[in-house]
Amino acid sequence: MNYLIPGLLLLFSCVFGYADQRNQPNLKVTKSSPQTLAATTTSTSADELTNAPAEKVNDPFERINRSTFRLNDSLTIHVAKPVARTYEHLVPHKVRTAVSNFFYNLDFPVRFANDVLQGRIKRSGQEVSMFIINTTAGIAGFIRVSDHVPTLVDVPPEDFGLTLARWGFSPGPYMVVPVLGPSTIRDSVGLGGDFALNPLNWYQLGVFAHNYIPTWANYTLGGARVISGLPGGVRTYEQMKETAIDPYIAVRNAYLSHRAAQLQK
């Protein structure tokens, strides 16, 4: 995914994952028709909801995390936000969407590799179809033509953090990474894994002997990728911050539950 360049990680201030199913009993659901639902009425359910014990959060480094969180907060407000505002001011909305689509399409190899590593044959096929359709009909990925194909509308993106989770690794302590934002030990390792899975980085990693992409182009691409992700990330973070009683806990809870939800898909 977009973690390649540190700036994008500000994006993470708002969203991205976690995985501790023990804390999410409500996610285990059974299907049944709405008619059977309507048949019974009890008030005990409301009491159960209220008296449920608080979720335990693995956050032994809370003190350090809180100060890193403050650092990221001021970086978001004083650096990321002005850049995002300028970008929004200069570039029309439709072009910004197209640029985001382009970078999403560019990350196809990472998502595909993670699908394969998790043994998700169907989803990897969907990713391949999306990539082919959007690269050709969607002009190098600027237009998400695949959204008009019903089977390709909702293909959850996989990353190496989720792959590690499905391989059985526990998330480990929650941590706030400077610049990048909320993460866990496992997801931080996942970032490194995703970096290694992206062919664009294989020259730096010594896999390719020849640099197929000029260095200046690589840096331009990286900068554009970071900037294209900023407006959404900054907005999500600000929305969370202004509605929260304690923004640190609100972001931590949001990151961990979003990650848990991704793992369920």
**CB closer to another protein, 63 vs 210:** 63
Of 31-39, 122-130, 196-204, 206-214, the window that binds another protein (rule: CB under 8 A) is 31-39
DSSP 125-185: HHHHHHHHHHHHTTTTTTS-GGGGSGGGS--PPP-HHHHHHHTT----SEEEETTTEEEEH
81 — phi, psi (to 5°)?
Answer: -65, -45
State which of residues 90, 93, 150, 214 lies at the interface with another protein (CB under 8 A).
93
Does residue number 5 form part of the binding site for another protein (CB under 8 A)? Answer: no
| CB contact at 8 A, 16 and 177 | no
Closest CA to 247 of 95, 70, 42: 70
* Alpha-carbon Rg for the chain in angstroms: 20
Q: Build a one-symbol-per-residue string for 153-172: x at contacts with another protein by CB under 8 A, - elsewhere.
A: xx------------------
Of 2-10, 29-37, 177-185, 197-205, the window that binds another protein (rule: CB under 8 A) is 29-37
Q: How many residues bind another protein (CB under 8 A)?
A: 54
Residues 46-65 that bind another protein (CB under 8 A): 46, 48-55, 57
State which of residues 22, 37, 90, 168 lies at the interface with another protein (CB under 8 A).
37
State which of residues 185, 200, 221, 261 lies at the interface with another protein (CB under 8 A).
261
Does residue number 196 form part of the binding site for another protein (CB under 8 A)? Answer: no
218 to each of 43, 52, 137, 191, how far by Cα in Å? Answer: 60, 50, 25, 19
Collapsing DSSP to helix, strand or coil, 90 comes out as helix
**Cα gap 259→174, rounded to integer Å:** 12
State which of residues 66, 120, 166, 235 lies at the interface with another protein (CB under 8 A).
235
**Cα gap 250→211, rounded to integer Å:** 43
State which of residues 22, 29, 78, 167 lies at the interface with another protein (CB under 8 A).
29
| CB contact at 8 A, 172 and 59 | no
- For 120: left if phi > 0, alpha if psi spans -120 to 50, otherwise beta; the answer is beta
Does residue number 82 form part of the binding site for another protein (CB under 8 A)? Answer: no
Does residue number 98 form part of the binding site for another protein (CB under 8 A)? Answer: no
State which of residues 22, 31, 63, 78 lies at the interface with another protein (CB under 8 A).
31
197 to each of 111, 200, 232, how far by Cα in Å? Answer: 9, 9, 25
Does residue number 105 form part of the binding site for another protein (CB under 8 A)? Answer: no
State which of residues 22, 26, 78, 167 lies at the interface with another protein (CB under 8 A).
26
**Cα gap 159→146, rounded to integer Å:** 20
CB of 209 to another protein, least distance (A): 37
Residue ranges that bind another protein, judged by CB under 8 A: 15, 26, 29-32, 34-43, 45-46, 48-55, 57, 93-94, 97, 100-101, 153-154, 232, 235, 238-239, 242-246, 249-250, 252-254, 257-258, 260-262, 264
